[in-house]
């Protein structure tokens, strides 16, 4: 079912840490590309077509919500539960995967605002002897430029067996870092971008060391409660998603094999790198508030938005991605991939328009690439190219 809700209550008729890392270009930063004064209206027909394609390519369901300075558009296709056939809804909660990284970065940047953290200080100043190189700074961690190996590359070399080995396991942060340090580093500190969940495991350790509280408490006190994010939870190591939610389905590596229901899991393998649960409404609220300057000082938000190139259309700051779209608009947010769920959550530079799109599957490259098209329809309108690739 697809529906669009626009304006302040009017209803139109009918018509769900880390994404794949790619080699980095040179490490030069570039000023952000500003959002035009007025964005074209969202293309809800195009958005619906993207969701239809994602379902046709193997996602049980897909959803998208746009919040546009007082107007809201809601679209959904397919099912939230393959067993019951319940349709997926934009009200459903889901696992947001690496979108969690933006939450963790905001907490650390708030601590920098409070003069409790120096972004250019070595991580080992705060966590003595944790890392093998005193040159690795907090900024390197938040920008994926530390060179720390991503332990999940080995953990999930085989999607189903790797997942089943960890779905009920509970790790300490130290154990996850130790898995990374068993392998050589990918580059010298600061030399190159190399996406690694290890970085944001370290971020979680920093949060807990500097505050004396759990990441759960800090997410709640600093972000969830102030923004009234009523669908956002950090339940680790509980395996359940509270309340109404979309079930998540892992696509096996073997072609034609049955999807695996991956909904129940500790996500202990990710924690502060990818274990938050949320909804489309809450993620739109979060990124809108962030970009409007409601969570950080202007100086710290500027640090977060100091981007370096990942590929021709994607840039990375401090726990924040920038995507450059075909119409010349740049959007800011993060992507998420966790077993059973793909998420795109982005907003315009001024925070006035935000989009969250979700498919309740993972390990499906076609769905992942297709879901990126939601950004084009949401922010470029009918000017969007039909052949956009991830």
Stretch 35-58: mean pLDDT, rounded?
A: 92
Q: Is the pLDDT of residue 151 over 60?
A: yes
**pLDDT for position 249:** 98
Over 50: is that where the pLDDT of 22 sits?
Answer: no
- pLDDT tens-digit profile of 72-129? 999 999 999 999 999 999 999 999 999 999 999 999 999 999 999 999 999 999 999 9
Domains and their CATH numbers in the chain: 44-380 (3.40.710.10)
Alpha-carbon span 340 to 59, nearest angstrom = 9
The H helix count followed by the E strand count for the chain is 13, 15
* pLDDT for residue 23 is more than 60: no
Q: Which residue has the higher pLDDT, 382 or 67?
A: 67
- Please give the average per-residue pLDDT across 292-304, as a whole number: 98
- % of residues, the chain, pLDDT over 90: 87
Supply the residues annotated as catalytic.
98
Q: Which long-range contacts (CB under 8 A, 24 or more apart) does 116-120 make?
A: 116/210, 117/206, 117/210, 119/303, 119/318
Predicted pLDDT at 19:
37
Find tokens 């947001």 and name the residue: 96
Cα–Cα distance, 135 to 125 (Å, whole number): 10
The pLDDT tens digits for 329-370 are: 999 999 999 999 999 999 999 999 999 999 999 999 999 999
- The answer to whether 274 touches 100, Cβ cutoff 8 Å, is yes
Q: Averaged over 55-59, what is the pLDDT?
A: 98
Q: Give this prediction's pTM.
A: 0.91
Mean pLDDT score of the chain: 91
Distant-in-sequence, close-in-space partners of 197: CB < 8 Å, separation ≥ 6: 17, 18, 98, 150, 151, 152, 270, 273, 274
Q: What contacts 347, CB < 8 A, 6 or more positions away?
A: 284, 287, 288, 290, 291, 331, 332, 333, 353, 354, 355
H-type helices in the chain, by residue range? 44-56, 100-113, 123-126, 138-142, 152-155, 159-166, 173-181, 197-211, 215-219, 280-291, 298-304, 365-371, 373-380
Res. 157: pLDDT tops 90: yes
Work out the average pLDDT over 280-285. 99
pLDDT for position 38: 87
Model confidence at 262: pLDDT above 50: yes
Q: Which two tokens stand for residue 4?
A: 């669009």
Q: What is the pLDDT of residue 383?
A: 63
Cα separation values, 365 from 52, 208, 274, 371, Å = 16, 35, 19, 10
A 10 A CB-CB count for 114 gives: 10
Tell me the mean pLDDT in the region 16-39: 46
pLDDT digits (tens, 9 = 90+) for 114-139: 999 999 999 999 999 999 999 999 99
pLDDT at 321: 98
pLDDT band at 384 (very low <50, low <70, confident <90, very high): very low
pLDDT of residue 356: 99
pLDDT of 34: 53
């Amino acid at each position: 079912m697809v529906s669009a809700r626009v304006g302040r209550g009017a209803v139109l008729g009918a018509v769900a840490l880390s994404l794949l890392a790619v080699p980095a270009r040179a490490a030069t930063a570039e000023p952000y590309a500003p959002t035009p004064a007025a964005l074209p209206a969202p293309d809800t027909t195009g958005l619906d077509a993207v969701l239809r394609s994602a379902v046709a390519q193997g996602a049980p369901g897909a959803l998208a919500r746009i919040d546009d300075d007082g107007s809201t558009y809601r679209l959904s296709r397919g099912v939230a539960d393959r067993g019951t056939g319940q349709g997926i809804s934009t009200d459903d909660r889901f696992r947001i995967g690496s979108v969690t990284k933006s939450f963790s970065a905001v907490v650390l940047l708030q601590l920098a605002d409070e003069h409790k953290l120096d972004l250019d200080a070595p991580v080992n100043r705060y966590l003595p002897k944790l890392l093998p190189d005193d040159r690795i700074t907090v900024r390197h961690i938040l920008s994926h430029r530390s060179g720390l190996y991503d332990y999940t590359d080995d953990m999930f070399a085989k999607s189903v067996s790797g997942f089943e080995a960890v779905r009920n396991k509970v790790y300490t942060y130290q154990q996850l870092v130790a898995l990374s340090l068993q392998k050589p580093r990918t580059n010298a500190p600061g030399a190159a971008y190399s996406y690694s969940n290890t970085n944001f495991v370290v971020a979680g350790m920093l949060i807990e060391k500097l505050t004396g509280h759990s990441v759960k408490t800090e997410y709640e006190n600093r972000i969830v409660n102030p923004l009234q994010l009523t669908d956002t939870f950090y339940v680790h190591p509980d395996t359940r998603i509270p309340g109404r939610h979309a079930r998540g389905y892992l696509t096996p590596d073997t072609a034609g094999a049955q999807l695996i229901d991956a909904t129940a899991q500790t996500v202990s393998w990710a924690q502060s790198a990818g274990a938050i649960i949320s909804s489309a409404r809450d993620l739109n609220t979060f990124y809108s508030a962030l970009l409007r300057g409601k969570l950080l000082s202007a100086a710290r938000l500027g640090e977060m938005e100091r981007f370096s190139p990942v590929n021709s259309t994607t840039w990375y700051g401090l726990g924040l991605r920038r995507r450059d779209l075909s119409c010349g608009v740049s959007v800011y947010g993060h992507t998420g991939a966790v077993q059973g769920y793909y998420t795109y959550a982005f907003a315009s530079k001024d925070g006035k328009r935000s989009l969250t799109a979700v498919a309740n599957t993972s390990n499906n490259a076609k769905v992942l690439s297709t879901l990126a098209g939601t950004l084009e329809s949401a922010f470029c309108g009918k000017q969007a190219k039909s052949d956009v690739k991830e």
